[in-house]
Amino acid sequence: MVNEIVQIRMVRGDLEVIDFLVKAGICKTRSDAIRYLVSLGISSSKKLPQIIRVVEELKKKNKNGECSIELPGATGILMSGRDRFQ
């Protein structure tokens, strides 16, 4: 695996979380902490576009009377964040 150097700008609050991970001994360096958090974010979002497509299809079927399903709240949460993961 080849490591690449990437420069980023971060808000102070996010950097404080990264520094906490280092100070707590969870990660050895800021770079390790950032790699860890990026990896978590990527792995947790891989299925999100698929989930959104399924929810949209269920909503269509519900409108057409093909199935009866209630997704109060959950649908709004999923749909509101969908653009961030595409």
pLDDT digits over 25-72, tens only? 999 999 999 999 998 888 888 777 888 888 888 888 877 777 666 656
Do 69 and 40 sit in the same domain of this protein? no
Domain ranges, residue 78 = 48-85
- The verdict on 36 and 52 lying in the same domain is no
Q: Is residue 2 part of a domain?
A: no
- Same domain as 40, residue 53: no
Which of 52, 55, 50, 18 is CA-nearest to residue 35?
18
pLDDT score of 49: 81
pLDDT given for residue 1 in this prediction = 73
Indicate the pLDDT class of residue 83, thresholds 50, 70 and 90: low
CA distance 12 to 30: 13
Residues 53 and 39 both lie in one domain: no
Same domain, 33 and 54: no
Query: What pTM was estimated for this model as a whole?
Result: 0.53
Sorted by sequence, the CB contacts under 8 Å of residue 68 that are 6+ apart come out as: 62
Q: Helices H, strands E: what count in the chain?
A: 4, 0
